Amino acid sequence: MPDLLIEIGTEEIPAGYIEPALEDMGRKLSEFFEKGRVSAGKPQLLGTPRRLVVHIPDIDKRQKDVIETYLGPNIKVAYDAEGNPTKAAIGFARGKGVDIADLTTETTPKGEVICAKVEKKGEPTDRLLNEYLPQWMADITFPKKMRWAARKVPFARPVHWIAALFDGKKLKFGFEGIKSGNTSMGHRFLKPNKFKFDSLNTYLRECKKHKVMVDPAERRQSIKDQIKTLAKQVRGKVQEDADLLDTVTHLVEYPVAVLGEFDKAYLELPKELLVITMKHHQKYFPVWKGGKLLPYFITISNMKAKGQDIPRGNQRVLKARLEDARFFYDEDRKRTLEDFVDDLKGVVFQKDLGTSHEKLMRIVSLASTFAQKVCPEEEETAKRAALLSKADLVSQMVFEFPELQGVMGGYYAAHAGESEAVAQAIREHYRPAFAGDAVPTIPAGAVVAVADKLDTIVGCIGVGLIPSGSEDPYALRRHALGIIQILVEYDFAVDLEWLIDRGIDTLGDKAKLSGEDIRKHCRELFAQRLRTLLSGEGFEYDVIDAVLNTRIYSFKRSKDQARALSELKKQSYFEDLVTAFKRVVRIIEGDVPGEVNPELLKEEAEKLLYRKFAGIKPTVEKHIQAGEYSAAFGKIAVIKGEVDDFFDHVMVNVEDEALKQNRMALLKSIAGLFAPLADFSKIVLNKTEKS
């Protein structure tokens, strides 16, 4: 069957643009064929910095024929009393290109109407492609586009050529004055010749001859193999780094790994600094032996190295960067880390929340309060680490290398004579910083991390910076998830509501929203993160909603509640139980007195219900206190029969107000048994509920 091969040749496209653009190109072509009634195979995506390539096999030569049905006017309008077609019917038939005698009728919600069935012959696929591909090129998604020369339609980078074949023949379309053909270009430096092709096989063969490794997967594997071989030459290894590997894969057309080295004296600098400089700034692969860096790096060149020119050039660039880093490092260490703290007064954290120094003082207060609650023996360490946690933000090193905030603070703290625990807590207090990142390894670090993230969450929400949709500029969702992860990992005995209140207390008069509004938005934020985690654990959505609509203490408790509710849901009596408890909640109105007056209980059914409630209440509360939620649910379930009898024999809304309020109080007491465990109104039942 015919296939489609398109290559768009350009100036070098940024590495991060290439894969998303190829996926977008393949997806849009597949959608075009599907909507156009043309069968086609799965796109094969190829490309380098200079070319974007899509190949699609097994394509129909022409569109499938289709019979389209068009509905016309109502039959009463289309024909007169004698059954003759009216002007409406004649005009409809003429408009659809059919004979009046070929019209049929069809029943619709608006009555019986006339209809025309029109056979639409499929167009040749190459004609459809020639019409569509110019717009397809214009619509390719890139983070940024540019215009060049006198061209009006922007693209990621200037387009130099277009090669497009369908069924082995050249397509005939143009884009901004550039006509499509069957000619491509070789590697810019190694073999910058033109070459022609008439199929995918000849295209791939010619690419190889012209020093272009057009398959990204092949380039990626070639790079992996080469860096592994070079690292072995110096008895080292290169650590896995998928992001860096992806980046360099899309920086070159013909990858050649080159080994370079640097002065061993630079190994005295923090290894994180060396790695950041090599990976993020130069796109080099550091070489390791065990957990130690070796004075070597591997860079990926886009051409074969001749002599030592390429290694020496890269070594000179790296040396200059490392010299700058060493200067900043030495200059920063002429001061103690505490000396930097006052400088934070001149740095604005957020216009409504004040300076970074003000934020720091809030973190210290929160860290102290939190430590007293969960690990009082770590309070002094946590407070000291909190005080110094943001000091490196005004250091020369972090100003030049922002990725090292926290890390450099740890090094500078150790240099200034702070304890190892303080230095480590500073180094780790940004954790977890991304999905899959580890939590801090020591309690003091965990305390400071929670305090920092909590202040950001409560502070931003307090001044109205509430995440919405995809907008979350202060990463509050990530901070909320980080707090949950830390609380789970350390099993800290503290609930989220208490934490939120402490954050509100510390925020003080900076808040623009009321305390209750801040609590509401914070609860929603944490509930969203907990919902995601519980869903990932496999719990049903209504179970999750029922649990999270109670007071949220911790992920562990919510998970245990969800597990217990899920077990209860498997019981044969579950739906009847939920129906009964939903009736209890629905009937409670307004302000209900908290205590039941036994002397006002008149009917036998309400007396029995009260005695049953009073009998199980202490046991239920004991189970909840101990975290025995399945046992608590089981104990509550035994009251179901008395609840049913109550509704069958007792009228709640009676004229006697005292009697009515007392019965409301009894029902509120019953609701109070299960309220800490689950909101049964969120449970979805399979059968019709009792009213």
pLDDT of residue 689: 44
DSSP 571: S
Work out the pLDDT band at 590, boundaries 50, 70, 90.
low
Backbone angles phi, psi at 105, to 5 degrees: -120, 160
- Token pair 């407070």: residue: 383
Q: Are 108 and 69 in contact (CB under 8 A)?
A: no
pLDDT of residue 456: 97
Triad 467, 470, 476: Cα angle to 5°:
35
User: What is the arithmetic mean of pLDDT over 531-536?
Assistant: 89
Strand, helix or coil at 106?
Answer: strand
pLDDT tens readout for residues 296-305: 999 999 988 7
Q: Residue 594: is its pLDDT beyond 80?
A: no
Give the residue extent of every domain in the chain. 4-62+124-209, 66-120, 216-332, 337-536, 551-682
| Burial bucket for residue 473 (CB in 10 Å: 0-12, 13-18, 19+) | exposed
Q: How many CA atoms lie within 13 A of 365 on its CB side?
A: 16
The CATH architecture one would assign to domain 337-536 is Orthogonal Bundle (1.10)
pLDDT of residue 653: 85
**Cα–Cα distances in angstroms (integers) from residue 422 to residues 269, 295, 411, 433, 669, in the given order:** 20, 30, 11, 19, 50
Q: What sign has the CA pseudo-torsion 311, 317, 318, 322?
A: positive
Bridge pairing between strands 178-181 and 159-166: parallel
Question: Omega before 143 cis (within 30°)?
Answer: no
- What is the C-alpha to C-alpha distance for residues 155 and 145, in angstroms, rounded to an integer? 5
Q: Residue 218: is its pLDDT beyond 60?
A: yes
- What is the C-alpha to C-alpha distance for residues 389 and 386, in angstroms, rounded to an integer? 5
pLDDT of residue 690: 41
DSSP 63: P
User: What is the arithmetic mean of pLDDT over 327-332?
Assistant: 96
pLDDT of residue 554: 78
Bridge pairing between strands 292-301 and 285-289: antiparallel
Question: Whose CA is closest to 344, among 384, 390, 410?
Answer: 390
- What is the C-alpha to C-alpha distance for residues 594 and 576, in angstroms, rounded to an integer? 27
User: What is the arithmetic mean of pLDDT over 108-123?
Assistant: 90
User: What is the arithmetic mean of pLDDT over 70-78?
Assistant: 92
pLDDT tens readout for residues 370-394: 999 999 999 999 999 999 999 999 9
pLDDT tens readout for residues 476-507: 999 999 999 999 899 888 888 899 999 999 99
Backbone angles phi, psi at 421, to 5 degrees: -65, -40
SS3 per-residue string spanning 399-417: HHCHHHCCHHHHHHHHHCC
Query: What would the two tokens of residue 256 be?
Result: 């050649």
Beta bridge partners of 79: 85
User: What is the arithmetic mean of pLDDT over 75-96?
Assistant: 92
Greater confidence, 625 or 454?
454
**Cα–Cα distances in angstroms (integers) from residue 559 to residues 497, 544, 555, 556, 628, in the given order:** 17, 9, 6, 5, 12
Report the C-alpha dihedral over residues 318, 324, 330, 333, rounded to 10 degrees: -110
| CATH fold of the domain at 551-682 | Isoleucyl-tRNA Synthetase; Domain 1 (1.10.730)
Greater confidence, 109 or 408?
408
- What is the C-alpha to C-alpha distance for residues 439 and 445, in angstroms, rounded to an integer? 9
Query: What would the two tokens of residue 644 be?
Result: 């049913």
Residues 6+ away with beta carbon under 8 Å from 373: 492, 493, 494, 498
Q: Residue 691: is its pLDDT beyond 80?
A: no
Q: Residue 688: is its pLDDT beyond 50?
A: no
Backbone angles phi, psi at 175, to 5 degrees: -140, 115
Helix boundaries (H) for 36-86: 75-78
The CATH number given to 4-62+124-209 is 3.30.70.3400
pLDDT tens readout for residues 244-257: 999 999 999 999 99
- What is the C-alpha to C-alpha distance for residues 644 and 651, in angstroms, rounded to an integer? 12
pTM summary value = 0.77
- What is the C-alpha to C-alpha distance for residues 72 and 74, in angstroms, rounded to an integer? 7
- What is the C-alpha to C-alpha distance for residues 175 and 173, in angstroms, rounded to an integer? 7
Beta bridge partners of 249: none
User: What is the arithmetic mean of pLDDT over 650-665?
Assistant: 88
pLDDT tens readout for residues 2-49: 999 999 999 999 999 999 999 999 999 999 999 999 999 999 999 999
Work out the pLDDT band at 323, boundaries 50, 70, 90.
very high
Question: Whose CA is closest to 272, among 354, 329, 336?
Answer: 329
SS3 per-residue string spanning 163-226: EEEECCEECCCEECCEEEECEEECCCCCCCCEEECCCHHHHHHHHHHCCCCCCHHHHHHHHHHH
Percent of the chain with pLDDT over 90: 74
pLDDT of residue 671: 86
Quote the mean pLDDT of the chain. 93
Strand, helix or coil at 323?
Answer: helix
**Cα–Cα distances in angstroms (integers) from residue 576 to residues 305, 545, 583, 629, 677, in the given order:** 78, 19, 11, 20, 18
Give one DSSP letter per residue of 257-321, joined into a string: EEEEE--GGGGGS-HHHHHHIIIIIT--EEEEETTEEEEEEEEEESS---TTHHHHHHHHHHHHH
Query: What would the two tokens of residue 643 be?
Result: 């609840």
Q: What sign has the CA pseudo-torsion 453, 479, 520, 549?
A: negative
| Range of weakest confidence among 178-187, 274-283, 465-474, 538-547 | 465-474
| Range of weakest confidence among 285-294, 342-351, 681-690 | 681-690
pLDDT of residue 592: 65
Percent of the chain with pLDDT over 70: 98
